[in-house]
Amino acid sequence: MKTTLDHDITKVKALRKMKRNALALLGVAVLLFIIAIYFKIPMLQAFSEAAMVGGIADWFAVVALFRHPMGIPIWHTAIIPTKKNEIGENLGNFVSEEFLNREKMEIKLEEFNFAVKASDWLSQEENANKIANVVAVNLIPGILKTIKDEEVRRFIQVQFKEKLEGINFGNWVALALEPLQKGNVKDELLTNLLQVMSAELTNNKDLIRKKVKASTPFLSFGLADKSISEGIFNGLQDFLEEAKNPQSAVRIKIDEYVYNFLDKVKNSEEMRLKINEMILGFVGKKEVQDYINGIWDEIKLSITNDLNKGDDSSIKNSISGLIQTFGNGIKEDQIMIDKINNFIKNDLLSVLLNNKKVIGDLISSTVKSWDGKEVSEKLELEIGKDLQYIRINGTLVGGCIGLVIYGVEQLYHFIF
């Protein structure tokens, strides 16, 4: 992709080439004039004289637009740099009075149908990719660099805390546990839990024995370890087995405890407050806070890593897809097309027309703020190449006119 500097270099080369061509043609006219004088060729002399006059006159006219010819401050030369303020004033007035004209603009807007053309342009993959590329390469990274990480982390913390404080976890827990008070759900859950506990107890029998041995007096020489550990193990197993029976006293006690707990959760405001305090207290722990602080860093890193994938970036491709979908959606929605066109025709146009003096003044003040020499050089770079054709045409047309004058003069002498 060519940069602005590359374009400027190309324009400079083209301008210099055209200047050389125009100068070379003027040089040919001078050479022809010398030949005509030396060999006494009146017709050629007439042609070359007029060609030189035309070429030099047009050179003067073209140069006078941008600078003083040969550095001599001749009156009414260097028109652009010396008349920059007047040019800016006239340009501002022209735009505000002629271009920002309601009747003319309404006709052009009707002919243009902005909504349809915009939707056609957006629906093309190449154009959507261009916009997505600008967003992915410039806009999003620029926003990420501008945002202060500490402020984002603080914002996330505040929002997280406010959202949590606004939630009644007690109601949630009560709502979640309410089914346990109905039907056989509670009994099945307790039975399954007791079976798991019994299986884990069996799987950890050796561990129980080691714990008991580590706790018995050294002087027992390990004689009591086995009987104590077996007693503990068997006692726990008997307890769990009895608790599995829904009709046992142990199970009835467990059911009663669970029922009372669920009832408190459901009906006791104090219990709900305790649940809320417990959860909020957990959230306030350093580990949880560190995790919350790291959320933004993870998001930022994920976005950056994805954007670095270039054409494979899912963010960029998603943006491109959304733009194409938006463009296609507008094309198929006549109501939306009418709304967009009416908005531009009425609302946006009214804003422009109501502020056309401000726009004209802005153009005028902007041009006035430019450096005269810089403006002249920029304009010459843009239009100077085409203006060299004036010099070339002036040389050729001047020569032809010289021939015509010479012919008329000869005809006059022939007749009279």
| Structural domain of 14 | 4-82+370-415
Q: What's the pTM value of the predicted model, to 2 decimals?
A: 0.48
Residue at which a domain ends, from 309, 332, 355: 332
Do the Cβ atoms of 386 and 13 come closer than 8 Å?
A: no
In this structure, the answer to whether residues 328 and 203 fall within a common structural domain is yes
| Structure tokens, 83 | 């008349």
* 354 assigned to some structural domain: no
Q: Looking at the structure, do residues 288 and 164 belong to the same domain, yes or no? A: yes
Residue 17 lies in a domain: yes
Residues 66 and 177 in one domain: no
> Considering the domain boundaries, does residue 221 fall inside one?
yes
- Digit-by-digit pLDDT tens for the chain (416 residues) are 455 666 778 888 999 999 999 999 999 999 999 999 999 999 999 999 999 999 999 999 999 999 888 888 888 888 888 888 888 888 888 888 877 777 777 777 777 788 888 899 999 999 999 999 999 888 898 888 888 888 888 888 888 877 877 777 777 776 776 666 565 666 777 778 878 888 887 887 777 777 766 666 554 455 556 677 777 777 887 887 877 777 788 777 877 787 777 777 777 777 777 877 887 777 777 887 788 778 888 888 899 899 889 889 999 999 999 999 999 988 888 888 888 888 887 887 788 788 888 888 888 888 888 888 888 888 888 888 899 999 999 999 999 999 999 999 888 888 87
Residue 358 burial class via C-beta count within 10 angstroms: exposed 0-12, middle 13-18, buried 19 and up:
exposed
Same domain assignment for residues 231 and 290: yes
CA distances to 47, 107, 115, 173 from 103, in Å: 52, 6, 20, 68
Question: Looking at the structure, do residues 148 and 210 belong to the same domain, yes or no?
Answer: yes
Q: Are residues 285 and 226 in the same domain?
A: yes
What does residue 78 show for φ and ψ, rounded to 5 degrees? 50, 50
In a domain, 281, yes or no: yes
